[in-house]
Each structure stands twice: as structure tokens, then as C-alpha cells.
């Protein structure tokens, strides 16, 4: 489960570099998002920066995190990889409106309500798979979750579907690879805990 993550100016700079690398026509162009970023935690219901496809190119855009639930009374902010294609609310977005959500790190709380931070060991940014849906006020997105890997299991049984950088283009453009990527096991992450209870045996 992913209910909060962190963005900052370093993350924005990495996103700009990635977009330029993925689009030859923008190699020398400033994407112009760094100044729009307010460093801090991103929560469901807020606007967040995502990577999407417009006119055949990767672009950065702001979307709202969360779909409206039944009669608009509930905010849905995650979807399970294993069942998303079976749900009418999710299927079209997953087939045709896939996005990538960049973050410096994300948070999860264990059963003792201790806050754990998860980040890449080898990169300053991680990429979470998601998809979007259009509402009257614009695009809204969800983050896909999958079964926890070994680095996540001590804290929670679910985690975001983390993409490798080389998988981003496949996720965004290649619908034939969607089901394969939904079944992938994310790489191991580094975990930090604000406070971890010590047990004596």
C-alpha cells in the first residue's frame, strides 16, 4: 500500500533529465518543472507531477492523486496489480492511460504505527507505475500496488509497483507488455525507520 511519498527539487531535476533523454527533440530544452515543485510529502487528494504520453511523446503534467469512489464519498488512491484489469473503474485507464509517478522515496507504517521510509539504493529517484482517468476537473491517477518484496515484508504485505528506468518507456508506450510488467517483482529498496523498537530475547 502506498499512501504518501516525497518530492523535491532534486527529484524534479532528475525527471527533467529523463524526459530529455527519452525525447531527442527536447535534449536542449528546459522542461520547466523545477520551479513549480514545493518540496514535501505528497498525500492522496493533492496534485502531483506524473510522466504521461501526449502526442506520442513523454511529458510531465500535474494530476490529482485519487479516483472518486461510490457517489464521490470515498477517495481511492491505490489499485492492486492482480485485479486491476478485471475492474471496470480501472480497466480502461490501465489499458490506455498508463503513467509513471516519480518520487524521491515513499512511506509506509508498520503495525506499531512506526513510519518507515523506502528509497532506491542506487538512484536518487524511484518510479511507481500507475494509470489515470479523466474527470471534469482534469486527470486523476492511482498508484498500482503489488505483493511486498523482501525489503518491504517486515513492514507491510503490499508495496508500489516500482519500475526500473529502462522499463518506463515499455510501461508508457507498449500495451503488449502491460500484463508482464504487472507481474514483476520490484527490486529491493533501502529502509529507514524513525524509531524501531528493540526486543530482548
DSSP class of 187: P
Q: Tell me the H-state helices in 86-135.
A: 88-96
154 inside domain: yes
Residue 200 belongs to a domain: no
Give the 3-state DSSP-derived string for 48-93, with helices as H, strands as E and coil as C: EEEEEEECCEEEEEEEEECEECHHHCCEECEEECCCHHHCHHHHHH
Residue 198 lies in a domain: no
Of the CA atoms within 13 Å of residue 75, those in its CB half-sphere come to: 13
Q: Whole domain around residue 65: which residue ranges?
A: 5-193
Q: What is the pLDDT of residues 97-134, one digit of tens each?
A: 999 999 999 999 988 889 999 999 898 999 999 999 99
pLDDT in tens, 166-192: 999 999 999 999 999 999 999 999 999
Please tell me the predicted confidence (pLDDT) of residue 24. Answer: 63
What CATH number has the domain bearing residue 89?
3.90.1680.10
Amino acid at each position: 500500500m502506498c499512501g504518501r511519498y516525497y518530492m523535491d527539487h532534486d527529484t524534479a531535476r532528475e525527471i527533467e533529465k529523463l524526459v530529455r533523454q527519452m525525447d531527442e527533440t527536447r535534449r536542449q530544452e528546459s522542461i520547466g518543472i523545477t520551479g513549480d515543485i514545493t518540496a514535501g510529502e505528497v498525500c492522496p487528494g493533492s496534485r502531483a507531477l506524473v510522466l504521461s504520453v501526449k502526442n506520442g511523446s513523454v511529458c510531465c503534467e500535474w494530476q490529482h492523486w485519487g479516483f472518486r469512489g461510490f457517489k464521490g464519498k470515498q477517495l481511492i488512491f491505490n489499485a492492486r496489480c492482480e485485479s486491476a484489469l478485471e475492474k471496470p473503474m480501472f480497466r480502461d485507464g490501465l489499458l490506455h492511460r498508463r503513467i509513471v509517478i516519480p518520487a524521491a522515496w515513499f512511506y509506509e507504517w508498520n503495525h506499531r504505527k512506526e513510519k518507515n521510509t523506502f528509497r532506491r539504493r542506487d538512484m536518487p529517484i524511484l518510479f511507481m507505475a500507475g494509470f489515470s482517468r479523466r474527470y471534469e476537473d482534469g486527470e486523476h491517477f492511482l498508484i498500482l500496488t503489488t505483493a511486498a518484496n523482501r525489503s518491504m515484508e517486515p513492514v507491510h504485505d503490499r508495496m508500489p509497483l516500482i519500475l526500473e528506468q529502462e522499463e518506463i518507456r515499455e510501461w508508457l508506450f507498449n500495451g503488449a507488455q502491460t500484463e508482464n510488467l504487472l507481474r514483476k517483482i520490484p527490486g529491493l529498496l533501502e529502509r529507514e525507520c524513525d524509531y524501531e523498537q528493540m526486543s530482548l530475547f
